[in-house]
Amino acid sequence: MLTEKKMWNDLYRHDEMFAAQGCQLLVSPQKISELHRDADKLLSNLRVKKGDKLLDVGCGSLGTIVVPALKKKAETYGMDISSVAISLLKKRIQKLKVGKAEFVEADAKNIPIEDNFFDFVISSSTLIHIKKIDKVISEMSRVLKSGGTMYASPFHNKKSFVNIPYTIIPVILGEKTKRRMFYTHHLSEIISIFRENDLVIEKAISFRGIFPFYIHVDFTKIFSENLVWKRIERLEKNAHTWIFYLKKN
Protein backbone atom coordinates (compact mmCIF):
# COMPACT_ATOMS: atom_id res chain seq x y z
CA MET A 1 0.00 0.00 0.00
CA LEU A 2 1.31 3.43 -0.96
CA THR A 3 1.19 5.56 2.17
CA GLU A 4 1.00 9.36 2.17
CA LYS A 5 4.52 9.52 3.54
CA LYS A 6 5.97 7.23 0.87
CA MET A 7 4.13 9.06 -1.90
CA TRP A 8 5.60 12.43 -0.94
CA ASN A 9 9.08 11.02 -0.32
CA ASP A 10 9.02 9.40 -3.77
CA LEU A 11 7.82 12.63 -5.38
CA TYR A 12 10.54 14.72 -3.76
CA ARG A 13 13.20 12.20 -4.77
CA HIS A 14 11.95 12.05 -8.36
CA ASP A 15 11.20 15.73 -9.00
CA GLU A 16 11.56 18.26 -6.20
CA MET A 17 10.04 21.17 -8.10
CA PHE A 18 7.00 19.17 -9.17
CA ALA A 19 6.48 17.96 -5.60
CA ALA A 20 6.79 21.50 -4.27
CA GLN A 21 4.74 23.40 -6.88
CA GLY A 22 2.53 20.72 -8.43
CA CYS A 23 0.06 21.93 -11.07
CA GLN A 24 1.39 25.48 -10.96
CA LEU A 25 4.73 24.23 -12.25
CA LEU A 26 3.00 23.00 -15.40
CA VAL A 27 1.39 26.32 -16.33
CA SER A 28 3.12 29.16 -14.50
CA PRO A 29 6.18 28.23 -12.43
CA GLN A 30 7.57 30.77 -9.99
CA LYS A 31 11.21 31.21 -9.07
CA ILE A 32 12.06 30.30 -5.48
CA SER A 33 13.15 33.90 -4.86
CA GLU A 34 9.69 35.06 -5.99
CA LEU A 35 8.01 32.64 -3.61
CA HIS A 36 10.15 33.95 -0.75
CA ARG A 37 9.38 37.56 -1.71
CA ASP A 38 5.62 36.97 -1.79
CA ALA A 39 5.71 35.12 1.53
CA ASP A 40 7.72 37.94 3.11
CA LYS A 41 4.88 40.32 2.20
CA LEU A 42 2.39 37.91 3.73
CA LEU A 43 4.33 37.65 6.99
CA SER A 44 4.65 41.43 7.13
CA ASN A 45 0.87 41.74 6.71
CA LEU A 46 0.41 39.20 9.51
CA ARG A 47 2.81 41.30 11.63
CA VAL A 48 5.22 38.47 12.35
CA LYS A 49 8.09 39.85 14.39
CA LYS A 50 11.27 38.82 16.14
CA GLY A 51 10.70 36.18 18.81
CA ASP A 52 7.27 35.06 17.60
CA LYS A 53 6.78 31.30 17.47
CA LEU A 54 5.66 30.28 13.99
CA LEU A 55 4.73 26.88 12.57
CA ASP A 56 4.62 26.17 8.83
CA VAL A 57 2.41 23.11 8.30
CA GLY A 58 3.52 21.27 5.18
CA CYS A 59 6.71 23.30 4.79
CA GLY A 60 7.99 21.33 1.79
CA SER A 61 11.54 21.81 0.53
CA LEU A 62 11.59 25.35 -0.88
CA GLY A 63 11.26 27.26 2.38
CA THR A 64 8.47 29.43 1.03
CA ILE A 65 7.38 30.40 4.55
CA VAL A 66 10.32 29.16 6.62
CA VAL A 67 13.02 31.28 4.94
CA PRO A 68 11.19 34.65 5.21
CA ALA A 69 10.19 33.80 8.80
CA LEU A 70 13.82 33.16 9.71
CA LYS A 71 14.80 36.47 8.12
CA LYS A 72 12.29 38.17 10.43
CA LYS A 73 13.99 36.43 13.39
CA ALA A 74 10.87 34.48 14.31
CA GLU A 75 11.27 31.24 16.23
CA THR A 76 10.48 29.13 13.21
CA TYR A 77 9.27 25.52 12.99
CA GLY A 78 8.77 23.64 9.74
CA MET A 79 6.66 20.50 9.68
CA ASP A 80 6.23 18.03 6.85
CA ILE A 81 5.29 14.39 6.38
CA SER A 82 8.23 13.96 3.99
CA SER A 83 11.67 13.37 5.47
CA VAL A 84 13.14 13.99 2.01
CA ALA A 85 11.53 17.45 1.80
CA ILE A 86 12.85 18.37 5.24
CA SER A 87 16.35 17.19 4.35
CA LEU A 88 16.33 19.29 1.17
CA LEU A 89 15.04 22.34 3.04
CA LYS A 90 17.72 22.03 5.72
CA LYS A 91 20.38 22.14 2.99
CA ARG A 92 18.70 25.14 1.34
CA ILE A 93 18.59 27.07 4.64
CA GLN A 94 22.22 26.26 5.35
CA LYS A 95 23.21 27.54 1.91
CA LEU A 96 21.19 30.76 2.32
CA LYS A 97 22.60 31.36 5.83
CA VAL A 98 19.33 32.78 7.16
CA GLY A 99 19.40 31.20 10.60
CA LYS A 100 18.29 27.94 12.16
CA ALA A 101 14.80 26.47 12.14
CA GLU A 102 13.36 23.56 14.06
CA PHE A 103 11.87 20.72 12.03
CA VAL A 104 9.20 18.17 12.79
CA GLU A 105 8.61 15.14 10.59
CA ALA A 106 4.95 14.32 11.15
CA ASP A 107 1.48 13.92 9.69
CA ALA A 108 -0.53 17.14 10.10
CA LYS A 109 -3.37 15.08 11.57
CA ASN A 110 -1.20 14.42 14.62
CA ILE A 111 1.16 17.31 15.39
CA PRO A 112 3.62 16.22 18.13
CA ILE A 113 3.76 19.62 19.84
CA GLU A 114 2.15 20.82 23.07
CA ASP A 115 -1.08 22.81 23.23
CA ASN A 116 -1.10 26.63 22.89
CA PHE A 117 2.52 26.84 21.73
CA PHE A 118 2.58 29.04 18.61
CA ASP A 119 1.76 32.67 17.93
CA PHE A 120 1.27 31.90 14.23
CA VAL A 121 0.28 28.72 12.41
CA ILE A 122 0.48 28.87 8.64
CA SER A 123 -0.68 26.37 6.06
CA SER A 124 0.02 27.48 2.50
CA SER A 125 -0.86 25.11 -0.36
CA THR A 126 -1.11 22.12 1.99
CA LEU A 127 -4.79 21.69 2.83
CA ILE A 128 -5.61 21.20 -0.87
CA HIS A 129 -3.81 17.85 -0.61
CA ILE A 130 -5.96 16.63 2.30
CA LYS A 131 -9.34 14.99 1.81
CA LYS A 132 -10.54 15.22 5.42
CA ILE A 133 -9.40 18.59 6.71
CA ASP A 134 -11.25 18.57 10.03
CA LYS A 135 -8.55 16.74 12.00
CA VAL A 136 -5.75 18.83 10.50
CA ILE A 137 -7.42 22.15 11.30
CA SER A 138 -8.22 20.85 14.78
CA GLU A 139 -4.55 20.08 15.36
CA MET A 140 -3.45 23.43 13.94
CA SER A 141 -5.84 25.17 16.32
CA ARG A 142 -4.74 23.06 19.29
CA VAL A 143 -1.09 24.14 19.01
CA LEU A 144 -2.05 27.79 18.38
CA LYS A 145 -2.17 30.15 21.38
CA SER A 146 -5.39 31.87 22.34
CA GLY A 147 -5.32 35.15 20.43
CA GLY A 148 -2.92 33.64 17.92
CA THR A 149 -3.23 33.94 14.15
CA MET A 150 -3.81 31.21 11.59
CA TYR A 151 -3.40 31.60 7.85
CA ALA A 152 -5.04 28.84 5.81
CA SER A 153 -4.69 28.84 2.02
CA PRO A 154 -6.14 27.84 -0.33
CA PHE A 155 -9.49 26.05 -0.18
CA HIS A 156 -11.19 25.11 -3.45
CA ASN A 157 -14.96 25.25 -3.85
CA LYS A 158 -16.43 21.81 -4.48
CA LYS A 159 -19.37 23.41 -6.33
CA SER A 160 -17.28 25.39 -8.83
CA PHE A 161 -16.86 24.06 -12.38
CA VAL A 162 -13.45 25.79 -12.47
CA ASN A 163 -12.13 23.20 -10.03
CA ILE A 164 -12.93 20.21 -12.24
CA PRO A 165 -9.21 19.94 -13.18
CA TYR A 166 -8.49 18.95 -9.60
CA THR A 167 -10.34 15.70 -10.22
CA ILE A 168 -8.77 15.12 -13.66
CA ILE A 169 -5.10 16.08 -13.30
CA PRO A 170 -4.18 13.23 -10.93
CA VAL A 171 -5.42 10.80 -13.58
CA ILE A 172 -3.34 12.45 -16.30
CA LEU A 173 -0.32 12.37 -14.03
CA GLY A 174 -1.12 8.91 -12.72
CA GLU A 175 2.32 7.37 -13.12
CA LYS A 176 3.94 10.28 -11.34
CA THR A 177 1.46 10.79 -8.51
CA LYS A 178 0.08 7.24 -8.11
CA ARG A 179 -3.05 8.67 -6.50
CA ARG A 180 -5.28 11.70 -6.25
CA MET A 181 -3.40 14.72 -4.88
CA PHE A 182 -5.97 17.51 -4.83
CA TYR A 183 -9.31 17.90 -3.07
CA THR A 184 -12.19 20.38 -3.01
CA HIS A 185 -14.50 21.28 -0.11
CA HIS A 186 -17.86 22.88 0.60
CA LEU A 187 -17.77 26.35 2.19
CA SER A 188 -20.29 25.28 4.84
CA GLU A 189 -17.96 22.43 5.83
CA ILE A 190 -14.97 24.75 6.12
CA ILE A 191 -16.81 27.35 8.23
CA SER A 192 -18.25 24.67 10.50
CA ILE A 193 -14.76 23.26 11.17
CA PHE A 194 -13.47 26.73 12.00
CA ARG A 195 -16.27 27.30 14.50
CA GLU A 196 -15.75 23.91 16.14
CA ASN A 197 -12.11 24.82 16.76
CA ASP A 198 -12.64 28.33 18.20
CA LEU A 199 -11.36 30.00 15.04
CA VAL A 200 -12.87 33.31 13.98
CA ILE A 201 -12.56 34.57 10.41
CA GLU A 202 -10.85 37.96 10.54
CA LYS A 203 -10.42 38.28 6.80
CA ALA A 204 -11.31 36.22 3.76
CA ILE A 205 -10.14 36.58 0.18
CA SER A 206 -12.13 35.06 -2.66
CA PHE A 207 -11.20 34.39 -6.27
CA ARG A 208 -13.53 34.25 -9.24
CA GLY A 209 -12.85 33.63 -12.91
CA ILE A 210 -12.55 30.89 -15.49
CA PHE A 211 -9.15 29.50 -14.49
CA PRO A 212 -8.13 27.77 -11.25
CA PHE A 213 -6.19 29.66 -8.60
CA TYR A 214 -2.93 27.80 -9.27
CA ILE A 215 -2.53 29.65 -12.59
CA HIS A 216 -0.27 32.53 -11.61
CA VAL A 217 -1.10 36.09 -12.64
CA ASP A 218 2.06 36.44 -14.78
CA PHE A 219 0.75 33.66 -16.99
CA THR A 220 -2.55 35.42 -17.56
CA LYS A 221 -1.61 39.01 -18.40
CA ILE A 222 -2.78 38.48 -21.98
CA PHE A 223 -6.33 38.21 -20.63
CA SER A 224 -8.36 40.70 -18.65
CA GLU A 225 -8.24 40.25 -14.88
CA ASN A 226 -11.99 39.78 -14.60
CA LEU A 227 -12.01 37.10 -17.29
CA VAL A 228 -9.23 34.99 -15.81
CA TRP A 229 -9.48 35.41 -12.08
CA LYS A 230 -10.47 38.30 -9.90
CA ARG A 231 -9.33 38.78 -6.33
CA ILE A 232 -12.14 39.92 -4.03
CA GLU A 233 -11.39 41.18 -0.52
CA ARG A 234 -14.34 39.45 1.13
CA LEU A 235 -15.94 36.03 1.44
CA GLU A 236 -18.04 35.11 -1.58
CA LYS A 237 -19.74 31.73 -1.45
CA ASN A 238 -19.73 31.31 -5.23
CA ALA A 239 -16.01 31.92 -5.64
CA HIS A 240 -13.82 29.07 -6.85
CA THR A 241 -11.09 29.61 -4.25
CA TRP A 242 -10.84 31.03 -0.72
CA ILE A 243 -8.05 32.14 1.59
CA PHE A 244 -8.65 32.71 5.30
CA TYR A 245 -7.00 34.80 8.01
CA LEU A 246 -8.19 33.48 11.36
CA LYS A 247 -7.90 34.37 15.03
CA LYS A 248 -8.21 31.83 17.84
CA ASN A 249 -10.52 32.75 20.72
Q: What is the pLDDT of residue 162?
A: 73
Residue 7 scores a pLDDT above 90: no
Q: What is the pLDDT of residue 101?
A: 98
How many angstroms separate the CA atoms of 54 and 30, rounded? 24
The pLDDT of 127-135, averaged and rounded, is: 90
CB contact at 8 A, 67 and 96: yes
The pLDDT of 221-243, averaged and rounded, is: 76
Could you tell me the domains of the chain? 4-248 (3.40.50.150)
**pLDDT band, residue 172 (cuts 50/70/90):** very low
Residue 171 scores a pLDDT above 50: no
Handedness of CA 1, 138, 205, 147 (dihedral sign): negative
Residue 109 scores a pLDDT above 60: yes
Residue 4 vs residues 83, 140, 155: alpha-carbon distances, Å:
12, 19, 20
How many angstroms separate the CA atoms of 213 and 174, rounded? 22
Residue 179 scores a pLDDT above 80: no
The pLDDT of 73-94, averaged and rounded, is: 97
**Model-level pTM?**
0.89
**pLDDT band, residue 25 (cuts 50/70/90):** low
Helix H or strand E segment including 38: helix 32-45
Tell me the average pLDDT of the chain.
Answer: 86
Residue 219 vs residues 30, 181, 225, 228, 233: alpha-carbon distances, Å:
10, 23, 11, 10, 22
How many angstroms separate the CA atoms of 58 and 22, rounded? 14
Residue 173 scores a pLDDT above 60: no
Which residue has better confidence, 167 or 139? 139
State the CB neighbour count (10 A cutoff) for residue 249.
9
How many angstroms separate the CA atoms of 168 and 128, rounded? 15
